[in-house]
Amino acid sequence: MGSPAKFVSSMRVSAPAPLAHRQRVASRPRLVPARKMASDSPSAGPPRGCVPPVCRAALSASSTTSDEDQNPPNLTGYPFRVKRIHLALDPYSRMAMPNRRGGEEVQKRPTSDIFWAFLMCFVTLATLGLVDRYMHVTHGLPFMSGAWGTISVLAFGTVENPAARLYNCVTATVASAFIVATMVMLFGSCWWTRALSVATALGFMMWTGSVHPPGAAAIMGCMDQAAFQQLGYWYVLYPVLFGSLFVLFMGHLTHKLKHRYEFMVGGLFGDGWVKLRRAEEDDRNNERLEQALNECKNCTISYDEDDVLGTYTLEREDSQIEYTEVRRE
């Protein structure tokens, strides 16, 4: 299934009227680029479903690509000339950028999310660091786990991430810590017990619907530190589960702060840049459509009703042109 094609379905020419306001043509988020006229190529034939007289606009929609097609496609949801660097420097927080293959941006949020995430992440890990220092000095026990860095990214850097839910955290953390403690006690720490532990924990998470990346980090931490291995099955509760629940609790507070206190801070490329590019894209789309319509007079195109994506009207100075957007194979 290819991109949509715009075909003229009818043309109604009225008597000359006073100069009217030109309406913008409604368009879908992914604009259809202009094509070279098929008449320029002697070997090109009428497209499938075209009824004589041959519509040159229809031929242009299925012919070779134009110079604009040689340019890379737009970022999904954004107009022409907007690049990732512009989005990276605008005042928004995102979990993931859009790409040029149809992938949309994920969790676009105001600048305040960055501030609250930074502040709460610092406070949380600093608190755990002080506890780690106290346990080392007073009791000689290890405390700080690398899994807490992973869960901090989920808890503070995202909003309502399924992997950061309480069920996922408790189930995956307890299972992963139990698996690695058992492996170390039975077979010791080596290359294949490390791989088998992570693979077993991953299968368990997928089976129980509790995928939680910090669980694998807890396994790797135990495999590489003899102090954690000496804890045996106590490693399940201390320090892994205790610290993970604390980070998750602080993440819940951060989530409330993000939604209650939202604000924006201007970036190097803000909304003005994107709006300007979007307006330019609309103008370019209108020009492409008018060029195709000027090449087509009294055209008739046959297509199935199921392939119709929308019908639009283009108001010109002395005429009103209706066109239909259909799905092209």
SS3 state at 159: coil
Read off the pLDDT of residues 56-79 as tens digits, 9 standing for 90 and up. 444 444 444 444 445 668 888 887
Alpha carbons 96 and 109: distance in angstroms, whole number: 11
Which pLDDT value is given to residue 80? Answer: 72
- For residue 60, report the phi and psi dihedrals to the nearest 5 degrees: -65, -30
Sorting pLDDT into bands at 50, 70 and 90, what band is 8? very low
Write the burial class of residue 126 (CB in 10 Å: 0-12 exposed, 13-18 middle, 19+ buried).
exposed
SS3 state at 315: strand
Q: Identify residue 115 by its one-letter amino acid code.
A: F
Compute the radius of gyration of the chain from its Cα atoms.
30
Q: Are strands 4-13 and 300-301 parallel, antiparallel or unpaired?
A: unpaired
Residue among 105, 11, 4 nearest 329 (CA)? 4
Residue 112 CA, chain-centre distance (Å), reads 20
The string of DSSP codes covering 34-89 is PB--GGGSTT--PPTTEESSP-HHHHHHTS-B-TGGGSPPPPTTS-TT--HHHHHT
Instruction: Report which secondary-structure segment, H or E, holds 319.
Output: strand 319-327
Q: Which residue has the higher pLDDT, 286 or 249?
A: 249
Residue among 174, 200, 119 nearest 152 (CA)? 119
The string of DSSP codes covering 94-142 is -SB---TTSPPPB--B-THHHHHHHHHHHHHHHHHHHHHHHHHHHT---
SS3 state at 326: strand
- Given a contact cutoff of 8 angstroms between Cβ atoms, the answer to whether 79 and 281 are in contact is yes
Read off the pLDDT of residues 175-195 as tens digits, 9 standing for 90 and up. 999 999 999 999 999 999 999
35 bridge partner residues: 65
SS3 state at 93: strand
Read off the pLDDT of residues 116-168 as tens digits, 9 standing for 90 and up. 999 999 999 999 999 999 998 888 888 998 899 999 999 999 988 999 999 99
- Given a contact cutoff of 8 angstroms between Cβ atoms, the answer to whether 8 and 57 are in contact is yes
- Given a contact cutoff of 8 angstroms between Cβ atoms, the answer to whether 168 and 210 are in contact is yes
SS3 state at 256: helix
pTM of the model: 0.63
Alpha carbons 6 and 309: distance in angstroms, whole number: 9
Q: Which residue has the higher pLDDT, 23 or 109?
A: 109
Give the CA dihedral 132, 137, 141, 145, nearest 10 degrees: 20
313 bridge partner residues: 322
